[in-house]
Structure 1
Amino acid sequence: MSTTEAVMSSGAAVVRRPRRVRMAWFLVCLGILALLVVASIAIGTRTVPVSSILSALGGSDETLDEAVIQVRIPRTVLAIIAGAALAVSGAVFQGVTRNPLADPGILGINMGASLAVVIGLAYFGMSNPNSQIWVAISGAALSAIFVYAVGSLGRGGPTPLKLALAGAATSAALISFVTAVILPRGDIAENVQSWQIGGVGGATFERIWQMLPFIGVGLAICFLSAKSLNSLALGDDVAAGLGEKVAVARGMASLGAVMLAGAATAICGPIGFVGLVVPHLCRLLVGPDHRWLLPFTALTGASLLLAADVVGRIIARPAEIEVGIVTAFIGAPFFIYIVRRQKVRAL
């Protein structure tokens, strides 16, 4: 029996989906993403006629309407990239820890990246986005290691609820540290507080190009780890029996997930619950095989964050609600539902 077949036959797995069903869902998800791209460009606090949208897409920015569209385009691209990165990061963390509650926000990883960036801004004057991304990834990695170590203490090892509690406690502590850092610094407090909410407003192609190498490497590591994640789903002993180097596989997959969460947080701020909700939805659509799950998760995560951004522009006109607030309204009830499930110990 192959590793993938073994994953499909395990008691914790979802029923395997035929290839044609997966391809059908892929086309559906792709169509939804395309519609959301159109909505993101066309919808905002200002109503823009179709003629201005088409001319702006052609590169013109002579009128105010065309200039508005030129601002929305990088915002749309950033939402797609950040949503995909956060969703894949969550799926990988869930696979590595076999924890249905795993999410970069819930595990304190986003706040670790956030604190590192704030310290860099406040004490080192770090204004270069490239440097901020490196610092954010380092902070995310340290936070992930700390939460996993604390959640592994005691009997039973790193159970889902212990990791969630350790992550929640760590996030609360890190939020307090962030507040302590920015309170004396009135020169950066306003910008940092806005960034801390999590959003994609103010996106520029310059910043997107700076984050793309990190996102690309992180996605590549995660996708290459798909087979190993299938093995880890069977348990460490079985994975080792299948020839998998468990510690190396877990470390490499976690590295990719940390890079994705850290880079997205550095540019967008800490956006929560995308990595929690999306992987669970995608497992229902395409099953637990990570070779299919991760690409679908990236596509669906991009759609979710893009939809959250569009909704935030509509419901608060003429103002906007940042995507971090919208995703919290979506994800918090889902988190409570997962916690209350009887089979919360493993995927």
Structure 2
Amino acid sequence: MILLLLFFSFFNLATTSELCFDSHCTGDYQTIRFPFRIVNGQPKSCGYPGFDLSCHPTGETLLHLPPSGDFIVQNIDYMHQEIRINDPDNCLPKKILSLNLSGSPFVKKNSQSFAFYNCSSSYMPYWYIDPIYCLSSLSYTVYASSSPLLINMFESNCVMIKTVSVPSLSSYSSKLWDDLLLKWKNPDCGRCESIGQRCELKSNSSNGIQCTNSQGRSRVGANVVSIAMGVVAAVICFLGLLCCLCFKINFRRTRSNSSNIAHWIVSSQGLNGLTIDSYPKFVLDESLSLPKPNNNVCPICLAQYRPKEIVKSIPNCQHCFHECCIDEWLRLKASCPVCRKSPLEAPPSNPPA
């Protein structure tokens, strides 16, 4: 219970401190750091508004761009503030048709205009061009091109769907299946990256940024972890000492109880022959005189004593019995038949007169 409380205490400490470490999705090696953050995996202060990422069930990093939907993050260039994305469903042209960056912090880079056409399934272009199979069906075929010659050919034979400005990897030529290249201007973290530092939010500003040592937050995190490990180790040592103390106390109690149990076992099982033979015995004379407290009847067999009979007494209480009677009794039960006192108990130092 104590360890759990400590764990949650340091978890809360880390949350309130909002330590921002480099992260990544399980199936991707792309480093995620400011201005990006993984939703539900890092505090909001670890990212900038509009730069939220998520992890696909397959482990890939996703960027959500409404109304187009989710895109796989192929690469993030923090210094040049660029990001390459593609379609997780392998139909990038479909995403391009609905691409709208107006509500995001990203803009297109190396834009190139593509015209999309819907042609009949029987139409065959003069020049070979790959159809977009994921947008086509048995009754029609969809083509797209940025070449003026092909566009003129399609215009006379097909129906235009839409003309789209596509952010491409190169300013010279591109294909619709290549990654889309986007860039961002705000926050301007490229200057921090160029000097080997990291970008982060200012503590007293909502969207203000500052450059910081790349190891700064990692060092704070390491210190917190070190302190946590030290406290946990100290608690473990304390619990170990407490356990040793409890064990020692319980051991003493066990020994005491064992002695009492052993005494009870001895009393219930009887005495051995050597102990019984060591008890004092004597032969009765004609007067039948016995030490007090006794009378002239054996308490075990209830027969009167007779001269020249052998009588044995128990040292602790001095009760007397026929030798054969008390020997048999003590072999079965280690207690006096009269007072029930154990023969093993020490007699009082000053017996009453």
Give the TM-score, by structure 1 length: 0.20
Q: Looking at both structures, which has the greater relative contact order when contacts are Cα pairs under 8 Å and sequence separation is at least 6?
A: 1
* Structure with a larger share of its residues in strand: 2
When Rg is computed on C-alpha atoms for both structures, the one with the higher figure is 2
Give the TM-score, by structure 2 length: 0.19
* Structure with a larger share of its residues in helix: 1
